[in-house]
Amino acid sequence: MGPIITKNRVEDLKTLLRHRKDEAIFISKLENVRYLTGFTGSNGALLVFTHQDISPIFFTDSRYEEQSAIQLTASNCEDIKVLVSRPNGPKLLEQVSSEALRHDIQTLLIESSDLRVSALEELGTFLATHIDTKSSIGVVESLRRKKDDAELQAIERASEIADQALIRVKGLLREGTSERDFAVELEYQMMKLGADERSFASIVASGPRSSLPHGHPTDRVIAEGDVVIVDFGAIYNGYHSDCTRTFSIGEPTPQVQEVYDLVLSAQLEVISHVRADSSCKSLDEIARDVLRKSGVEHLFIHSLGHGVGLEVHEEPFLSARSETVLSPRYVITVEPGVYLPELFGVRIEDTLVVTKDGSKALTKVDKDWIIS
Amino acid sequence: MGPIITKNRVEDLKTLLRHRKDEAIFISKLENVRYLTGFTGSNGALLVFTHQDISPIFFTDSRYEEQSAIQLTASNCEDIKVLVSRPNGPKLLEQVSSEALRHDIQTLLIESSDLRVSALEELGTFLATHIDTKSSIGVVESLRRKKDDAELQAIERASEIADQALIRVKGLLREGTSERDFAVELEYQMMKLGADERSFASIVASGPRSSLPHGHPTDRVIAEGDVVIVDFGAIYNGYHSDCTRTFSIGEPTPQVQEVYDLVLSAQLEVISHVRADSSCKSLDEIARDVLRKSGVEHLFIHSLGHGVGLEVHEEPFLSARSETVLSPRYVITVEPGVYLPELFGVRIEDTLVVTKDGSKALTKVDKDWIIS
């Protein structure tokens, strides 16, 4: 996997911290560490000071010494100092504290929705009364909303891999295939096509189970007349895709056809309104409005969508409560759904990149939904 | 996946809390919630009071209402009260706080190595000055060390799946196969054989890369003369297996043969000493002692092993610093390794269950290591 970042990201973070009047931040969330440094291992952290003259410091353990050196160099992060904790030396959090204490700061931001209580306690012991810690949420995440070219290319490639994998296994969507077998083959094809990993545990929910929005695959065998929801994605170079298609095995009943058409029209209506300056809240309302006119808005029991990037669910969140306004280069999903308990459900989802005047679909696999 | 628990586990936890003189514990770690209730979803928590007359309370959100009802019933947890948080109602942590406040307790244990700082802050706001929270580590984990029959059967099945998958793909271990392709096929076969998931991202490290203890698969193509380390496992019914085999592609050099024989003899020597009442520390020392006699103890750069269960790495940890003594029904790995930087590495690992007088291997795939 090639590097896809530049050191500008750390500079952007410093600028943000300056605006917030913060002195330093301890970044423990691995996706944020990866975003800023290119490091992909399972143990790494970053200390960033607002002051222009103080270099950021990257922390890892001896297992990742070689890998982190290669990855930080490839990411143009040569100005980041690297400290490696070793089995018989000071622990990582002790090193973080020592580095923070070397500089004249009074308060250190922590990522409170990531850091474990025991880690904060350890940090607090080392920092004693010299530095206070202060909780923060979403600082680096706010930078991650707007994707650069390399990030968009990675999400586009992840989406293509997922599309191609679905095309390869679509023939298995027939009477006699179990949900589980279909999911295993779909994920295998994504891996064969070059995915780092699947984006999340695929949802394959057939028959009455399609009314469960998060139906994990079971041994249930697909039968003629079933509705099948398939929600899946690939990761490429760390970046996710997310796509849902709903299928009818054989001719749909008039009711299924009606619900499918309605969900599709809600999705297309929202997509026609996606553009820079649209508010997330208004898009959610557009979907609900389409469904409300047919009296099924109460069967749309989740929010409209979410951002996609280094995490499959990230900012911005497209819900009735979101105050966020879209900007160019945001990558989002639009995924209305209608679920009739114990009967069937329909969800249609695409991953899109927001542009100045509209949006571009990244997941492109067709919506040819009737398997005859 | 069938249920594999009984309500005795919650009773055991209550007894432990009573011995510790604690009043109640808030369990947020999902593996611990699963251990106690059988719930397998991604959002669930449990509040357990020491007092005999106060029922435990399980918390989840509306996505998991149906699933949790089924799973708790199947686990004989009918006496656990269930509270479901809904989009427009009080949040999960608010519900937890309300339930804690209904009872006359002064202190609530939290799982500090799991709970996020922001969650503790939220809990603290609701509990205000009425109840103090107190950090704890490893309370439920201490109960999880000793496996019951159903747990042992699950780990045994996970181990069989992994063994069979390796046998199926062993023919790909030859010149021309990439590390990545081998890992993809191995994991696919584990899924085809009925694994819930792979136990962890498989390690496939060939040639000089075999000297990296955690070499994730790359596009490097296996060549004649390579040493290849394969470290992999399956999950069955939530329970993990863990196994490592080292292969020589073609005849090994005398040095490789010597190191292989040494690592194998260290592993077998340790296994011959595994039994109830062995100390973890002493087993780690036995392995180091074998390697020390050949002057390569400094090339054994990780600890000897770890417990295996609902997590692939859990208590007890077999390291030089561990004060733990083994008991019957503990499941552990024994995995000495020797790594010659930039040349090659050898690691051999099995998952074993401890018995009164010895141990029984659960991973059984043969150690026929030379691929000719």
How do residues B126-182 score in pLDDT, each as one tens digit?
A: 999 999 999 999 999 999 999 999 999 999 999 999 999 999 999 999 999 999 999
Tell me the shortest Cα–Cα distance from B108 to chain A, in angstroms: 14
Q: For chain A, give the secondary structure using H, E and C.
A: CCCCCCCHHHHHHHHHHHHHCCCEEEECCHHHHHHHHCCCCCCEEEEEECCCCCCCEEEEEHHHHHHHHHHHHHCCCCCCEEEEECCCCCCHHHHHHHHHHCCCCCEEEEECCCCEHHHHHHHHHHHCCCCEEEEECCHHHHHHCECCHHHHHHHHHHHHHHHHHHHHHHHHCCCCCEHHHHHHHHHHHHHHCCCCEECCCCEEEEHHHHHCCCCCCCCCECCCCCEEEEEECEEECCEECCEEEEEEECCCCHHHHHHHHHHHHHHHHHHHHCCCCCEHHHHHHHHHHHHHHCCCHHHCCCCCEEECCCCCCEEEEECCCCCCECCCCEEEEECCEEEECCCEEEECEEEEEECCCCEEECCCCCCCCEEC
Does B8-144 match B149-371 in CATH topology?
no
Confidence of residue A7 (pLDDT cuts 50, 70, 90): low
Contact A116 B117 (CB under 8 A): yes
Q: In terms of CA atoms, which chain B residue is nearest residue A178?
A: B192
Can you tell me which residue has the tokens 């000055």?
B129
Q: Exposed (0-12), middle (13-18) or buried (19+): which is B279, by Cβ within 10 Å?
A: middle
Residues B298-316, mean pLDDT to the nearest whole number: 95
Residues of chain B positioned with their CB less than 8 A from the CB of A112: 116-118, 121
Q: Which ranges of chain B does DSSP label H, i.e. alpha helix?
A: 8-20, 30-37, 65-74, 92-101, 117-127, 139-144, 149-169, 179-192, 254-273, 280-293
pLDDT at B6 over 80: no
Q: Which of A116, A117, A182, A299 to mutate to test the interface with B (most CBs of B within 10 A)?
A: A117
Reported ipTM: the value is 0.92
Residues B248-295: pLDDT tens digits?
999 999 999 999 999 999 999 999 999 999 999 999 999 999 999 999
Q: What is the pLDDT of residue A8?
A: 86
A and B: number of Cβ contacts within 8 A: 58
Residues B322-326, mean pLDDT to the nearest whole number: 94
Highest-scoring range by mean pLDDT, A58-72, A200-214, A252-266, B63-77: A252-266
Rg (CA), chain B: 23
DSSP, collapsed to helix, strand or coil, labels residue B212 as coil
Structure tokens at A151: 């990030």
Nearest to A276 by CA among A355, A352, A200: A355
Q: What is the pLDDT of residue A64?
A: 87
Contact A184 B192 (CB under 8 A): yes
Q: What is the pLDDT of residue B88?
A: 76
Nearest to B222 by CA among B185, B249, B189, B186: B249
% chain B with pLDDT above 90: 90
Tell me the shortest Cα–Cα distance from A243 to chain B, in angstroms: 20
Residues A329-368: pLDDT tens digits?
999 999 999 999 999 999 999 999 999 999 999 999 999 9
Alpha-carbon distance A346 to B158, whole Å? Answer: 35
Alpha-carbon distance B39 to B25, whole Å? Answer: 18
Residues B101-124: pLDDT tens digits?
999 899 999 999 999 999 999 999
Residues A243-282: pLDDT tens digits?
999 999 999 999 999 999 999 999 999 999 999 999 999 9
Tell me the shortest Cα–Cα distance from A7 to chain B, in angstroms: 26
Tell me the shortest Cα–Cα distance from A136 to chain B, in angstroms: 9
Q: In this structure, are residues A332 and A322 in contact, taking their beta carbons and an 8 Å threshold?
A: no
Name the CATH superfamily, with its identifier, for domain A149-371. Answer: Creatinase/methionine aminopeptidase superfamily (3.90.230.10)
DSSP, collapsed to helix, strand or coil, labels residue B233 as coil
DSSP, collapsed to helix, strand or coil, labels residue B370 as strand
Alpha-carbon distance B114 to B46, whole Å? Answer: 13
Residues of chain A positioned with their CB less than 8 A from the CB of B213: 63
Rg (CA), chain A: 23
Contact A137 B115 (CB under 8 A): no
Q: What is the pLDDT of residue B87?
A: 73
Which amino acid would we find at residue B34?
R
Per-residue burial over B175-198, b if 16 or more Cβ lie within 10 Å, else e, is eebbbbbbbbbbbbbbbbbbbbeb
**Residue-range domain boundaries for chain A:** 8-144, 149-371
Contact A116 B121 (CB under 8 A): no
Contact A201 B197 (CB under 8 A): yes
Tell me the shortest Cα–Cα distance from A317 to chain B, in angstroms: 15
Structure tokens at B5: 């628990």
Confidence of residue A1 (pLDDT cuts 50, 70, 90): very low
Contact A120 B118 (CB under 8 A): no
Residues A61-117: pLDDT tens digits?
988 888 899 899 999 888 999 999 987 789 999 999 999 999 989 999 999 999 999
Contact A191 B214 (CB under 8 A): no
Highest-scoring range by mean pLDDT, A3-17, A202-216, B174-188: B174-188
Q: What is the pLDDT of residue B158?
A: 98
* A267: CB partners within 8 A, 6+ apart: A287, A334, A335, A336, A348, A349, A350
pLDDT at B3 over 70: no
Total residue count of chain A as it appears in this document: 372
B262-269 long-range CB contacts below 8 Å, 24 or more apart? Answer: B262/B290, B262/B291, B262/B294, B262/B296, B262/B338, B263/B291, B263/B336, B263/B337, B263/B338, B263/B346, B263/B347, B263/B348, B264/B348, B264/B367, B265/B290, B266/B290, B266/B291, B266/B336, B267/B334, B267/B335, B267/B336, B267/B348, B267/B349, B267/B350
Contact A121 B135 (CB under 8 A): yes
Structure tokens at A116: 């474990």
Q: Are strands A44-49 and A132-136 parallel, antiparallel or unpaired?
A: unpaired
pLDDT at A210 over 60: yes
Nearest to A92 by CA among A132, A143, A33: A33
Residues B78-93, mean pLDDT to the nearest whole number: 90
Q: Which of A25, A71, A118 to mutate to test the interface with B (most CBs of B within 10 A)?
A: A118
Confidence of residue B4 (pLDDT cuts 50, 70, 90): low
**Which CATH code for domain A8-144?**
3.40.350.10
Can you tell me which residue has the tokens 């760390």?
A238
Backbone angles phi, psi at B310, to 5 degrees: -70, -20
Q: What is the pLDDT of residue B1?
A: 47
Residues A294-311: pLDDT tens digits?
999 999 989 999 999 999
8-state DSSP, B279: B
Contact B66 A212 (CB under 8 A): yes
Q: Are strands A243-249 and A370-371 parallel, antiparallel or unpaired?
A: parallel
Q: CA dihedral defined by A88, A93, A95, A98, rounded to 10 degrees?
A: -130
Residues B175-233: pLDDT tens digits?
999 999 999 999 999 999 999 999 999 999 999 999 988 888 999 999 999 999 999 99
* B2: CB partners within 8 A, 6+ apart: B74, B237
Tell me the shortest Cα–Cα distance from A185 to chain B, in angstroms: 8
Q: Exposed (0-12), middle (13-18) or buried (19+): which is A46, by Cβ within 10 Å?
A: buried
Contact A184 B191 (CB under 8 A): yes
